[in-house]
Chain A
Amino acid sequence: MSTQSHSGMVEKRGTSLWLTHALMIAGVLVVFFPIWLAFVASTVTQQEIVQPPMPLLPGGEFINNYTKALTSGVNVPVMTMLINSLIMALGIAIGKIIISLLSAFAIVYFKFPGRTFFFWLIFLTLMLPVEVRIVPTYEVIAGFGLLNSYSGLIFPLIASATATFLFRQFFMTIPDELTEAARLDGARPMRFFIDIVLPMSRTNIAALFVILFIYGWNQYLWPLLITTDPEMNTIVMGIKQMFPSGDDVADWPVIMATSILAMIPPVFVVVSMQKLFIRGLVDSEK
């Protein structure tokens, strides 16, 4: 457990302390400014945004704009898109974790013909991003009639070489003696998986969940391709759909409110799972 503080590792005092803080604050300001602008834009009226100079302080339209976004939106209420995104992100994250846990378990603990071959096959797919295989995948999903469905959104993205690889690496650090002790205790393979391997991997699972949830939430191209019905839009692509085509006027305050709303769930997941996330990345319980 890394509970002891690391404050004593590098001594900082005087000017260097001020300098590091000044740099940090400057960095935070640079990163935060566009988000602040978006927030300001979501609390003023359309006129105020269009008129130069653009306001830098929040206006009084917060409740109006957000209510409008959540309940009616531009094409479809933002609430619907949030729910779609949530279902997709959770489906992808949980599905990926279950599948990669099981495949890593098979690869590490069972001897079967072609074990190494299958491992490298999985590993090779790491090199193929979604975009490369998107046309054939679309063909398959369309053939199954899964366009405009949650299954269509989730299943093509559910297999994960990265997660399989990470779990494989973690399982290989579990001492053989533990496996043997479980065998002597009478635990059959699935029992061993559920009682020993799963609980020991829980910090890794949490860390991966955070990463995969955000991966799922931020999917853009795939939902854009397979959802034509606005009712199935996810929020990240939905923002794009809110942009006017032709001569329509963009409702910037509502679009900005949608952007801010789209950011909240990933931030919530990261912040609430921060402790487990960091523990999963830095140490494994042994």
Chain B
Amino acid sequence: MATLTLENVKKSFGKTDVIHGVDLSVNDGEFIVIVGPSGCGKSTLLRMVAGLETVSGGNIEIDGKTVNDLEPMDRDIAMVFQNYALYPHMSVRENMAYGLKVAKVPKPERDEKVAAAAQRLQLTDYLDRKPRELSGGQRQRVAMGRAIVREPAIFLFDEPLSNLDAKLRVQMRLEIKQLQSSLGVTSLYVTHDQVEAMTMADRMIVMNKGLAEQIGTPLEVYENPASLFAAQFIGSPAMNVLKGDVNNQTLSLENGASMPFTSKHQGPVHVGIRPEHIFPADDGILSLASSYAEPLGATTLLHGSLEGSNALLTVNLPGIAVGAGSPGQPHAKKFNFDAAHVHLFDLETGLNCT
């Protein structure tokens, strides 16, 4: 149980700055997901909190105590690694108990804690096996078990699900989230998968090129993205971005269409419209040329180019919206959207200026 505070945390490797100053305040028991593309510095940030990387600037506080110069073992944290990092020569039991053994916890207490954690993670039958005799999901659970037996103040997760297959990932995602909320331990979770970020986070940090683009609840980020990057990174399929211009209560798009629109902003902008906010309409102002449909069952994705421009457009329609006789060919050609769902982004800064 602890709070975690980052104040203007920076990291550079030699002359290369990889993190340019991140501020974050994590409440007790909160589940924070750091999400971003590879190379954005999200893992480095996590490793700095873990104490595996030195801090080049700023301050990291756990429970109000600065930990910048503390060894990982003195920070009261536990970490789950991407490749699990289980000790290959130790049984599941020994793996889970190792941290306690080093901390000189008496054996009966150690056994008790391991047994409790194993039961919680359904590992009781596997305690005497070696990691190589376990499946990927089970190894993942052992790694979690190793973290929870130590009852740390903070859990750190470094892309823990990226080595699992898609189905198992969905299941483990739920398990991790349930485990975390039942234990109530403050957690920092790094992922490049925006679905994990949306489903697991209490709040998420969208990182890009060493900067936190936006910090907020998943729905805040989804409904009100602070920047063009956050808008395109969060949400699947990604948000459509068209070139546009706002002038005197009118928004004109690059295909020549225009619609009434109220905004403080005047002049050229990026216009973001999520695929699921576009709907078929006979008098629609967007018409798709050479479109292709991907029926997913619950929804149908239409990909095509916007007539009157060379922009690409993706539309997400509910249900099966393809012609019965010709799969791949959508019913509709013309589409419209609601002005309330339009996001505007500054051409230069990429910041939301709706």
Contact = CB atoms under 8 A, between A and B. Distances in A.
Contact of B102 (A177, A185, A285): A185
Given A177-B81, A195-B98, A184 B88 contact: no
Interface stretch (B70-78, B168-176, B228-236): B70-78
Contacts of A111: none
Given A175-B83, A177-B81, A191-B102, A183 B73 contact: yes
B87 A196 contact: yes
Interface residue SS majority, chain A: helix
Contacts of B83: 175, 177
Contacts, number: 62
A184 B89 contact: no
A53 interface: no
Contact of A187 (B50, B89, B102): B102
Nearest to A198: B89
Interface in A161-207: 175, 177-178, 180-187, 191, 195-196, 199-200, 202
A175 to B, nearest CB: 7
Interface in B92-108: 98-99, 102-103
Contact of A186 (B79, B102, B146): B102
Interface residues of B, number: 25
A285 B82 CA distance: 19
Nearest to A174: B88
Contacts of B87: 178, 181-182, 195-196
A286 interface: yes
Nearest to A202: B89
A186 B146 CA distance: 13
A183 B52 contact: yes
A181 B89 CA distance: 14
Interface in A259-286: 285-286
Contacts of B50: 180, 184
Contact of A200 (B71, B88, B146): B88
Contacts of A196: 87, 89
Given A186-B103, A187-B102, A181 B73 contact: no
B71 A183 contact: yes
A81 B52 CA distance: 54
B89 A175 contact: no
Contacts of A191: 102
B219 interface: no
Contacts of B84: 177
Nearest to A187: B102
Given A177-B81, A180-B52, A181-B81, A200 B102 contact: no
Contacts of B99: 184-186
Interface string A194-230: 0110011010000000000000000000000000000
Contacts of A175: 83, 85
Contacts of B78: 184
Contacts of B146: 181, 185
B71 A177 contact: no
A189 to B, nearest CB: 11
A181 B77 CA distance: 11
Given A184-B50, A184-B78, A187-B102, A177 B73 contact: no
B302 to A, nearest CB: 43
A286 B84 CA distance: 12
Looking at A181, A199, A202, which has the most chain B CB atoms within 10 Å of its CB?
A: A181
B75 to A, nearest CB: 9
A181 B85 contact: yes
A125 B51 CA distance: 38
Nearest to B103: A186
A178 B131 CA distance: 13
Given A180-B81, A200-B88, A285-B89, A185 B52 contact: no
A185 B98 contact: yes
Nearest to A191: B102
Given A187-B102, A191-B102, A180 B85 contact: yes
Given A177-B85, A285-B88, A184 B73 contact: yes
Interface string A44-77: 0000000000000000000000000000000000
Nearest to B82: A177
Looking at B77, B79, B82, B103, which has the most chain A CB atoms within 10 Å of its CB?
A: B79
A191 B71 CA distance: 15
A202 B88 CA distance: 12
Contacts of B89: 196, 199-200, 202, 285
A175 B88 CA distance: 11
Nearest to A186: B73
Contacts of B71: 183
Looking at A180, A196, A285, A286, which has the most chain B CB atoms within 10 Å of its CB?
A: A180
A185 B88 contact: no
A5 to B, nearest CB: 20
A181 B79 contact: yes
Contacts of A195: 87, 98
Contacts of A182: 87, 98
B334 to A, nearest CB: 53
Interface string B132-160: 00000000000000100010000000000
Interface in B104-132: none
12 contacts: A180-B50, A180-B79, A180-B85, A181-B85, A184-B50, A184-B52, A186-B73, A186-B103, A187-B102, A195-B98, A202-B89, A285-B89
Given A177-B81, A183-B73, A184-B73, 4 more contacts: A183-B71, A186-B103, A200-B88, A202-B89
- Minimum-distance CB pairs A-B, first 10: A186-B73, A177-B85, A185-B99, A181-B85, A199-B89, A186-B102, A177-B81, A184-B72, A183-B72, A178-B85
